[in-house]
Amino acid sequence: MTAKDAALDENATRIRDLTKLINEPQAMSLNLEHLRAAGGVSALLEVLGTDPDGGVADASVEKRRELFGSNTLPSTPRKSFWQLFVDTFDDATLQILIVAAIVSLVIGIYDAPATGYVEGMAILAACLIVSVVTALNDYQKESQFRELSAANDAVDVVVVRSGKFHSIPVDDLVVGDLVCVEAGDNIPCDGVVVTYDGLEVDESALTGEPEDIDKDAETDPFLLSGCTAIAGSGRFVAIAVGKYSQWGMIKSKLEKEQEETPLQEKLDDMAAMIGYVGMGAAAATFIAMMAIKIFINPEYLQHISVFHHALDAFIIGVTIVVVAVPEGLPLAVTISLAFSTKKMLADQNLIRHLAACETMGNATNICSDKTGTLTENRMTVVRGIFANKRDEKCTEPINISEEALETILEGIACCSTARVVYPAPPKETAVDDELAVYDGRPQLIGNKTEAALIILAQSDWGSNDVTDMRREEARFGKEDGSRLFPFSSSRKRMTVLVTKKKHPWTLYHKGAAEIVLESCTTYMDVDGSEKKMTKEKREYFQEVIQEFASDALRCVALAHRSRIDKVAKNLATIHLAECEKKLEKELCLDALVGIADPLREDVIEAVATCQHAGIFVRMVTGDNLETARAIAKQAGILTEDGISMTGEEFRKLTPAQLDEILPKLQVLARSSPEDKHMLVQRLNGGLMPETKEAWEEAHPGRDFETEKDLLLPGYKEEWDVSRGGVGEVVGVTGDGTNDGPALKAADVGLSMGLSGTDVAKKASDIIIMDDNFSSIVKAVLWGRSVFDNIRKFLQFQLTVNVVALTITFLSALVGYNPPLNAVMMLWVNLIMDTMGALALGTEPPTLDLLDRRPYKRDSSLISRPMWRNIFIQATYQLSLLVFLLDKGPQMYNCEDGSSHHFTILFNAFVFCQVFNEFNAREIGDIFDPFNNLSKSPMFLLVIAFTVLAQWAIVEYGGDFTQTTPLSFSEWRSTVGYGAISIPFGFIMRLIPVSEDPHSFAGLSRKEIAKKDNYWLSALILALLPFLAAIVYQLAYEVEELKH
């Protein structure tokens, strides 16, 4: 070990303590105080062992990396396709299916070695298909985003080591490195500035602040990873790298996985419920059949041994379990989500996680960032007074003299360091490159306020002025050229001294309107002449400034002073202090402009649509409270009785106090990333500390026993009690690095595709490709469509299963063999499942889906109207089957129990499902089974395929399917029996059964109360006699057979 390495070892604890002390998140003043107490930047460099000119020694780099970590950010190891495939079997429905399939396979082979394997193998094949499709989709999406991440992360940085400049990969940075940055560079780690020359940094990605921050040793020397240098240049010493930097600490929170989505939870419950029902029916069947054999032992069972009968009873019981479980359910979910994912991409929603599709449909809260999400993050001049002429739009050419316009345009072009670059047309990209996004908007380099003025000058308003040429003619930074004193946040203004060929020296001045106005003694009139600034005129301009401010506009003043060479002779070498004292006075006011970060055009309508759909929209931003309130009011987020507060006030609340104001908390301003994260945790309970140890890890140095009920976000047990264990379904929008943890903690994270940072995109579930808030409405619409499509399939499938289960159970109970043999059941139970999933899982959304509130997390997946529809259709189909069992042989002149008899019954049953599939397209009270069929080509294709396949099975199945070809009249009558399902669909919707109002969440609306009158219970009671009649009829048939 070298002497320098030994010194580093000895100093390591001191370095860690000091760098942590001066690098607390969102605490610049406190960090600065600690830095000063430690002796300032020079003392920090001494502790770190960094030479202010030569940087660290090359030989110490590896030791520094060993002691303080490397500049690599945490990431989750990639799962292989095999791991993703195995993970798919965590689904409870698949698990039940696999167990049932294995039991069916074993018993089927034992009972009928030639054909007994068919049912079990078919179910296992369905499970395999679902798992492979899901794993492939997950693997493909992960590959795309890892490629995007790798491309974004592969950058080099310039450092000084051992007195020499080196360009090194960003991952090789170490604590103590002297890092060089220029305008446009990303800050690769946390640091403190050592030298600086007009260095300005955009910290909005990390702190949410839209203002560019001046960096200097006295007021703000701290540079934060994940931010961008906007202007100037400088060197800084690295104090935290990788996971210890502020960006790294945020990203580390993104590695925790969220819980299951609401639909997954409901499907697991549904699978368990169906499994219990199936096992209960199977057990009851087995007990009943054994009781008949042991206690009654009728004549038709006397020649069968108890063991063989027990085996038969067990096989029938397993058959009931297999029939009960809807194996098409996971397939329907996968198909619906995959279909919607492709369609949503056309609506500018790139789905990173399939489950986010359906979850978004039942979102009850959206916590939205302001800058870049609700607003365009592009400053725009929207109002102004130019040469004493008011302009309320700033879009058309302004009607002032050429001389006045020339002065204003010269001031805009020269008194600026910003650049506006218009992008080249996009190159052709691969059709399947989902991440290739073209941003046709001009790129703003430098101060956004200055860029807003540049864009104004280059527009029709300024006769498409060539601002870059004006700046080149001024020859800034060249010998005998113009001088520039850049904008300073302390001065709130900037000044340029412009000299051009054949033109005298002119001062152009720009800054905060109220400060510039104080220095003006004249103002420019429309003809370009200078008029004296009277008391009345000054008061008028002050009123304009106040008006702009009250409308949340940033007010900037432009001024000039001619022939300054007569005031000071040393203009080529004059310093800022002398310029302030001698030149920045007796100015002529040229213009007052109101600059806004405007709302996106469709935000107001999109917010209103979300609220109409029962979604609570909140704004969470790092901007100041007044601006946030003004923007929130414009967007329709902040109402008269709404609550707005700052992050500082928010952090002082206890969990109970926050719960009290949450229903009205609409704006959270000056918030830190932790505030947004805690708000989401409190709303949905996601990632909430569950143990004392987890709470203490989140609150280091605090006492759990005395403070657990005082500090946000609370803890799991307390949250469960306050919410009954059921939280909100939260969507979070954002584009900055600071939004990452909240995006991950949310049920659905939505990041911006154009302006979003890499961290935000990786943390999100959905990427809004066009940065358009209205695309969130489309995400909600598609999400609700997915949710309803799954419910449509359930309504259809459960009807099939109720009939098949009941007829199998009752037939076995009274001694019949099941009227539908194994191959028929395979067609009905598997092929119809798959076809139903394709047909109903790909139905397009309709706008009326946004007319209802979202469902609660714990609301039933099957609503009361759905149960009504299932029971009535099942009762009709059961009645039809019993009728055909009884009267079929007489009506069709066939032998009772023959293959001809059962083929007629089978055909009628299948066409009942075909026509009931039209009924299943609506799960409520609307009867319009043929509505928008032209927009559902997959549905029509499935119906056509099902009909053709049924015809082929009946006509050509022969011994394999045990079917007999039917005559035309038999086809006509059996299809007709199925078609009766359609008028039954109309009749059943006349029975007034409404949804449970307690199943809805989100914002309530004034609605006409509907009387339920317990119609569902009455309906079930009314159907009991029909079921009793069916049992009686089957018993009667058995007696007839016995005689």
d(CA 509, CA 559): 5
Partners of 594 in the β-ladder: 383, 555
* Cα→Cα distances 677→256, 262, 674, 684, 687, Å: 13, 20, 5, 11, 10
Our answer to whether residue 735 is catalytic in this structure is no
Fill in the DSSP letter of residue 475. T
Partners of 157 in the β-ladder: 168
Task: Given the residues 369, 623, 735, 758, select the one marked as catalytic.
Answer: 369
> Exposed, middle or buried, 278 (CB in 10 Å: 0-12/13-18/19+)?
buried
User: Which among 137, 85, 121 has a CA at the least distance from the CA of 830?
Assistant: 121
d(CA 37, CA 103): 74
User: Which among 488, 405, 419 has a CA at the least distance from the CA of 452?
Assistant: 419
* 681, two tokens: 């945790």
Residue in the structure block whose two tokens are 């990427």: 767
Partners of 198 in the β-ladder: none
The answer to whether the CB of 820 falls within 8 A of the CB of 829 is: no
Burial 691-728 (b: 16+ CB within 10 A, else e): eeeebeebbeeeebeeebebbbbbbbebbeeebeeebb
User: Phi-psi region for residue 984, left (φ > 0), alpha (ψ -120 to 50) or beta?
Assistant: alpha
Query: What is the chain's length?
Result: 1043
Residue 774 contacts by C-beta under 8 Å, 6 or more apart in sequence? 600, 602, 603, 605, 606
**φ, ψ at 999 (rounded to 5°):** -85, -10
* Cα→Cα distances 93→99, 274, 974, Å: 10, 10, 34
Alpha helices in 197-347 (DSSP H): 204-207, 246-252, 262-291, 306-324, 328-346
CB-facing half-sphere around the CA of 118: CA atoms within 13 A: 15
User: For the chain, what is the total number of helices (H) and then of strands (E)?
Assistant: 39, 26
Between the CA atoms of 652, 370, 667 and 219, what dihedral angle is there, to the nearest 10 degrees?
Answer: 40
d(CA 644, CA 623): 13
User: Which among 250, 320, 245 has a CA at the least distance from the CA of 286?
Assistant: 320
- At residue 708, what is the residue type? K
User: Which among 421, 305, 318 has a CA at the least distance from the CA of 105?
Assistant: 318
The answer to whether the CB of 507 falls within 8 A of the CB of 561 is: yes
Quick count: other Cβ atoms within 10 Å of Cβ 187?
24
The dihedral built from the CA positions of residue 368, 370, 375 and 378, taken in this order, carries a sign that is negative
Task: Tabulate helix, strand, coil % of the chain (nearest 5).
Answer: 55, 15, 30
The answer to whether the CB of 189 falls within 8 A of the CB of 221 is: no
Task: Examine residue 997 and say whether the peptide bond preceding it is cis (omega within 30 degrees of 0).
Answer: no
The answer to whether the CB of 622 falls within 8 A of the CB of 738 is: yes
d(CA 395, CA 382): 8
- At residue 340, what is the residue type? S
> Exposed, middle or buried, 763 (CB in 10 Å: 0-12/13-18/19+)?
buried
d(CA 330, CA 333): 5
Q: Please identify every residue annotated as catalytic.
A: 369
